[in-house]
Structure 1
Amino acid sequence: MTVHPLSRKVVLVTGGTGSFGKKFIRKALETDVKKVIVFSRDELKQYEMAQEFKDERIRFFIGDVRDKERLYRAFDGVDIVIHAAAMKHVEACEYNPFEAVKTNIHGAQNIIEAAIDRGVEKVIALSTDKACSPVNLYGATKLASDKLFVAANSYAGDKKTRFAVVRYGNVVGSRGSVVPFFQKIKETGTLPITDERMTRFWITLDQGVQFVLDGLVHMNGGEIFVPKIPSMNVVDLAKAIAPECEMKIVGIRPGEKLHEAMITEDDARRTVEFDTYYVIQPEFPWWSEKKNQGRPLPDGFKYTSDLNDDWLKVEQLRELVEKM
């Protein structure tokens, strides 16, 4: 019988009141997890979450990943850390660049140092497709964060703490997603489309949570896990949400890509493939080929939303949206 990765563990989730955090914690509480700690900045969201989640195994810590001392206190006795806290809105990061660096990069460093010193067993950090060949500050800070978490496995030395990263695309219905935005403004009769050619990777919250849990099982330390997920065209998404609406082309916004990528051609040279996911392997001298026995990728491979083999049709998109 396979033991669940959270079984009898003390788990802490940074950004635990966010879309991912709440879904992950709900899933965790369905297991025999020992304790779940919600670590976040907003006391109102924590209060509201406490009313929703009535379970004696849940704890709430007010804190900021920028505050290393608070992380040291919060990580005391913790086995697993899921790092979901981030400044993630592209425009907010562009307008407040130093704040984005403090949270997404300095915060990552604080997580790493506190985890190593407190003897945390495993840390998984959530990344984004925007960290792959970034064109905006949010993506650049998350790329730096990814590299910090990968390098942290060497930084840990002979300590037991291991770090890995999961990188996936747009989450259906998460805060800031285009889905709730389209739903909100469809009453106007017009949906703004940046570019009718635009494509994105697409994943549900449930799939994202399960992928993190799978990462906890498969990680050895230093991997970036990338799921095989479908692409969608933004025009098809608009048709799925509001087929009666007129579409108005407004042009690509600053810091936005026409298509997203999750594995570059350069990264592909050290990436291996499995049936449902890819693993970008670290370039450590001690990394053993025994650790992720997947299939090597062909020369010139890259994983981008426009070159994907798997596409969501309008009907499938509508089904996903209706399940939100």
Structure 2
Amino acid sequence: MTIRKRIMSLFIIDSLIILSSIYACALFLYPFENVLRDRMLLISTITLFIAHHSFAWHYGLYRKYWSYASVEEVKSIAKAVTLTLFVALVMQYVYSEVLYLRTLLLTWMLLILLLGASRLSLRVFNESSIKRKNIQSSRTMIIGAGQAGRMIAQQMKQNPLWGKNPVVFVDDDKRKWQLEIYGIEVVGTMKNISDLVLQYHIEEIVIAIPSLSKKEMAELTRVCIDTGVKTQTIPRLEDLISGKITVNDIRDVKIEDLLGREEVKLDMAKVEEKLANKTIMVTGAGGSIGSELCRQISVLKPARILLLGHGENSIYTIDKELRGKLLNGTEIVPIIADIQDRERIFKIIEEHRPDIIYHAAAHKHVPLMEANPFEAVKNNIFGTKNVAEAAHKYNVGNFVMISTDKAVNPPNIMGASKRFAEMIIQNLATSSKTTFAAVRFGNVLGSRGSVVPLFKEQIAKGGPVTVTDPEMTRYFMTIPEASRLVIQAGLLANGGEVFVLDMGEPVKIVDLARNMIKLSGYEEREIKIQFTGMRPGEKMYEELLDASEIQSEKIFPKIYIGKSTPISIGEMNMVLKDLPYMSEKEIKEKLLSLANRKVKRTEMEKERWQKNWKQEGELHRI
């Protein structure tokens, strides 16, 4: 039915109800009088007719989608009817000595009843027609019977096309137990989820408690996915308050939800003060970390963002994304360049004179770099050297290098090359006006090189999911959190520091695989896990700091500063001079030797540093 036909239909229905209601009430109250000849009733009817349609239009009674009518729509009817009857009462008072108070009062009640019934009948008809179409609905458990849970339940009932049939609520508030909300019973607590899923034949679970902390959310999510039932959640409280998304934006639980990490808040005043109206360069701007850095920097009102990258497709993608946002007048400058091209890098930095450089460009894939050590040297070492020395020459204010936990005691060429890159900027920091620093962290979930995309692909193909070793662990962090902490750490630098991000507790890769299988709606008997053995250059456990680098100072929530292992400028220059002429074997031996060099300390000093470090949260595992 078109909008015009729908409005006309409602207009005719309302007109018939209005024209008949006052006479019906008058006949009920005065059964032995000829009300049809009463002049004042006729005038009152005409008044009701005109007033109702005016107020009905004002309150949008003809524009509402009555198939999804709720209490708010009924309130609109009540307002329109009340004002209509008030106008009729005023008219009678002005033009007649007789007031039909009882008749008008009864008419008021009858109009609300009939007009409300006419609208709500459309909703009843809509829901029954959907049921007649045999739309399949999943038996759904809603965890949380608070305001968010009630809204979700209401939406599920009003929108059968969602395919979710709310069967039970689960809530820890004992006052709600055995009560019904929208006809849905509150049946128990979160401790009983597994039993309740079996008892009520639940097919889906929706977690509707936006106020949960990340740790609480992670624990609850694990309980839910262990039932083998598809689990979804609603946005967190801060996202709802900010208006980014609404409570109805249900999404599937992600592997990030199982980390249980509370995200740190930036010192936004200092961050904006440092980055506003500045020219910011991000190398590797098309990569996972680089692109997220660009997104987060873009909202801090910089004058320009220089997107430097080697791959044109990735730079095109982030350039297009940023231009599609409201960037407060920020200029976006896409630059296709290879950091190995020293002359090109120097010209770019000379031309644009960035105030801050975030150096995210690097080769990071361990087995690939193990097979191609020359490329690790060219990109991670000489590429970093090119950008850093250009920053030094043209007096860039800050240079922040993105490093990795694989630079700690590295058995592989990738980690060793990143550790040597750290040494380059640490030595530059001793004599440069540019403030150099490195930020070291572990794996980021969802990045191109992480196991998460690989596991997703393997699960989609029906398995097996390949894990190197059942005891292998890694640190994990989300891309947005890592990027925020990199920005914050860059502001804390005085020169030459290696900042270490608190990655929380290490996660077993096999547990990550199992959780991803469950989140995908499968069980291990359907998607097998296959252990393949460690690949060349891999470590069983990752570390964030070597014992000789441990420094107890935490300078910001989740940001620590490590004591760097020194190397003389003379020795560094000699190595840099020789690297291009070394064989692959010689490169590995030399870089691994340098990267694993320790600071000599007394046993008393080591014991003191280790004790302080453990008290700060056990950031590493040795």
Separation (CA, whole Å) in 2 of partners of 1:71 and 1:125: 16
How far apart are residue 267 of structure 1 and its match? 1.1
| Matched ranges for 1:3-22 at <5 A | 4=272, 5-22=274-291
Of residues 130-139 and 39-48 in structure 1, the stretch that sits farther from structure 2 once superposed is 39-48
CA contact (8 A) 1:272 1:297 kept: no
Matched, 1:298 2:608: yes
Cα distance change on mapping 1:92 and 1:310 into 2, 3 Å = closer
Q: What is the identity, as a one-letter code, of the residue corresponding to 2:343? A: E
Paired position in structure 2 for 1:175? 448
Cα distance change on mapping 1:80 and 1:197 into 2, 3 Å = same
Cα distance change on mapping 1:308 and 1:198 into 2, 3 Å = farther
How far apart are residue 46 of structure 1 and its match? 2.2
Separation (CA, whole Å) in 1 of partners of 2:613 and 2:417: 21
Paired position in structure 2 for 1:264? 546
Residue 381 of structure 2 is aligned with which of 91, 105, 110?
105
How far apart are residue 51 of structure 1 and its match? 2.6
Separation (CA, whole Å) in 1 of partners of 2:342 and 2:277: 26
How far apart are residue 45 of structure 1 and its match? 2.3
Cα distance change on mapping 1:47 and 1:114 into 2, 3 Å = same
Residue 30 of structure 1 is aligned with which of 295, 299, 303?
299
How far apart are residue 42 of structure 1 and its match? 1.6
1:272-299 deviation per Cα after TM superposition (whole angstroms, max 9, x unaligned): 3345222013579xxxxxxxxxxx9834
How far apart are residue 22 of structure 1 and its match? 1.1
Identity of aligned residues (%): 34
How far apart are residue 176 of structure 1 and its match? 1.5
How far apart are residue 100 of structure 1 and its match? 1.2
Runs of 4+ with deviation above 6 angstroms: none
Residue 236 of structure 1 is aligned with which of 486, 500, 511?
511
User: Superposition RMSD on alpha carbons, in Å?
Assistant: 2.4
- Give SS of 1:102's match: helix
Structure 2 residues without counterparts, runs of 5 or longer? 1-268, 567-605
Cα distance change on mapping 1:309 and 1:169 into 2, 3 Å = closer
How far apart are residue 111 of structure 1 and its match? 1.4
CA contact (8 A) 2:430 2:495 kept: no
Separation (CA, whole Å) in 1 of partners of 2:345 and 2:334: 13
CA contact (8 A) 1:263 1:302 kept: no
Matched, 1:123 2:123: no
| Higher relative contact order structure (alpha carbons within 8 Å, sequence separation ≥ 6) | 1
Larger Rg: 2
Paired position in structure 2 for 1:314? none
Separation (CA, whole Å) in 2 of partners of 1:67 and 1:189: 42
How far apart are residue 309 of structure 1 and its match? 7.0
Q: Which has the higher strand share?
A: 1
Separation (CA, whole Å) in 2 of partners of 1:201 and 1:2: 29
Paired position in structure 2 for 1:201? 475
- Give SS of 1:183's match: helix
How far apart are residue 233 of structure 1 and its match? 1.0
Paired position in structure 1 for 2:560? 278
Q: Could you tell me the TM-score, scaled by structure 1's length?
A: 0.84
Paired position in structure 1 for 2:536? 254
Paired position in structure 2 for 1:136? 412
1:22-69 deviation per Cα after TM superposition (whole angstroms, max 9, x unaligned): 111111111111100011112232223333221551101111111122
CA contact (8 A) 1:130 1:260 kept: yes
Q: How many residues align?
A: 294
Q: What is the identity, as a one-letter code, of the residue corresponding to 2:440? A: R
Residue 184 of structure 1 is aligned with which of 443, 453, 457?
457
Separation (CA, whole Å) in 1 of partners of 2:607 and 2:396: 33
Q: Which has the higher helix share?
A: 2
How far apart are residue 212 of structure 1 and its match? 1.0
Cα distance change on mapping 1:126 and 1:297 into 2, 3 Å = farther
Separation (CA, whole Å) in 2 of partners of 1:255 and 1:46: 30
Matched, 1:62 2:336: yes
- Give SS of 1:278's match: strand
Separation (CA, whole Å) in 2 of partners of 1:178 and 1:266: 30
How far apart are residue 155 of structure 1 and its match? 3.7
Cα distance change on mapping 1:87 and 1:299 into 2, 3 Å = same
Q: Could you tell me the TM-score, scaled by structure 2's length?
A: 0.45
- Give SS of 2:305's match: strand
Paired position in structure 2 for 1:293? none
- Give SS of 2:368's match: helix
Of residues 171-180 and 208-217 in structure 1, the stretch that sits farther from structure 2 once superposed is 208-217
